[in-house]
Amino acid sequence: MSNSGMESLGPNSETPLKIAIVGFGNFGQFIAKGIQRQGHVVLASSRSDYSDYCNENGIKFFKNLEELCEEEPDIVLICSSILSTESVILGIPFHKLKQDTIFADVLSVKEFPRNLFLDVLPPEFGIVCTHPMFGPDSGKHGWAGLPFVYDEVRILKGSTQAQKCAQFLSIFQKEGCRMVEMSCKEHDRYAAGTQFITHTIGRILSQLNLESTPINTNGYETLLQLTESTVSDSFDLYYGLFMYNVNAMEQIENLSKAFEAVKQKLFSRLHGILKKQIIERVSFQKSIPEEKPGSYFLPDNKKMKDFSSFAEPSEKTSKEQEDE
Ligand SMILES: NC(=O)c1ccc[n+]([C@@H]2O[C@H](COP(=O)([O-])OP(=O)(O)OC[C@H]3O[C@@H](n4cnc5c(N)ncnc54)[C@H](OP(=O)(O)O)[C@@H]3O)[C@@H](O)[C@H]2O)c1
């Protein structure tokens, strides 16, 4: 078993591939368009019924996975949510498929489907794990220049399987994607520090209900766009990025520490100013006892009973003055 290699991606003179998409939601439908543009045949199956959409778009829809597998697709492309993938794959009747079938996936995490495929698929099935690093929003004007990560986990060298795997990958190459061959482990390490952080910041910003204003800066426009694009993905997807990437927890902690460090920097400077004002006020009072010091910053002590160290001095009672 070995790599079929991107060098072997030749012109698409071969018979079109029959590609069965399992999980035909938002992303499944989006990826199907590119596959069709490259002249391949798309079959689909999903938990929900997408018959009408498929009829309108030249795709054969199967309510039942048995019937889909009886069509003997060359590639079974898993496009289900990360969270449901295990149960989806375990529901596929492998015995109905051809011996050299290739299983591929588009999950936004990679070690999890790789290990799952290796664990449950018959040994003769090929495995190629991919992550198109774009979606219906970022890829709406075409896929040119957008990164496509892939790892040929188990492909029989010099076989028809290797040729079909190359043909499958060439779909994305011909659409203009920037092809990045990378191990699933390495992908997950990079993705936690990039994609997961991006989604997390977008989710945090969405909690603030940011609105457009007449004085938006370019930076603010970027934040609005980020918020919009992250919340247009399902929460299942975001939760999957967290739950199924071992590096995600570390990134959440780093983010939380970074926020604390920034707050600390701000508050320590504020504390310095307050301290200076308190000390200066005390020495000022001592040198000019007759006059009340003019402090613009400190609040009225009556409103700040519980924070007496920050409050202005109260008028002394006649009893206190007598005691002095
Ligand atoms: N959106 C993106 O930009 C993007 C980019 C790259 C990769 N991906 C990957 O593409 C996959 C699909 O993403 P998505 O954006 O379409 O949204 P998603 O919420 O991650 O997945 C939706 C898909 O999962 C299926 N599904 C959900 N729960 C299920 C269950 N309990 N049993 C069976 N099927 C279930 C849905 O089927 P029904 O529709 O039939 O209910 C639908 O096909 C994910 O693995 C994601 O990581 C997404």
d(CA 21, CA 31): 9
Q: Say how many residues make up the chain.
A: 324
Ligand 1, pocket residues at CB < 6 Å: 23-28, 46-48, 79-82, 84, 88, 106-108, 132, 135, 233-234, 236-237, 240
Residue 17, burial from CB neighbour count under 10 angstroms (0-12, 13-18, 19+): buried
Contact indicator for 246, 188 with CB cutoff of 8 Å: yes
pLDDT for 8 equals 44
Map tokens 């930076």 to a residue: 219
pLDDT for 322 equals 55
pLDDT for 319 equals 52
Low-confidence ranges of the chain (pLDDT < 50): 1-12, 293-301, 303-318, 324
d(CA 157, CA 159): 6
pLDDT for 187 equals 98
Contact indicator for 23, 108 with CB cutoff of 8 Å: no
Compute, in angstroms, the gap from residue 22 CA to the centroid of ligand 1. Answer: 10
Compute, in angstroms, the gap from residue 78 CA to the centroid of ligand 1. Answer: 9
d(CA 178, CA 6): 12
Compute, in angstroms, the gap from residue 314 CA to the centroid of ligand 1. Answer: 65
pLDDT for 248 equals 97
pLDDT for 323 equals 55
pTM of the predicted structure, to 2 decimals: 0.84
Q: CA separation (Å) from 294 to 272, 303, 314?
A: 19, 18, 14
**Measured from the CA of 48, which atom of ligand 1 is nearest?**
40
Contact indicator for 24, 45 with CB cutoff of 8 Å: yes
| Residue nearest (by alpha carbon) to ligand 1 atom 29 | 84
pLDDT for 63 equals 97
pLDDT for 12 equals 46
| Residue nearest (by alpha carbon) to ligand 1 atom 33 | 47
Structural domains present in the chain: 6-182 (3.40.50.720), 189-255 (no CATH), 260-312 (no CATH)
Map tokens 């007496």 to a residue: 308
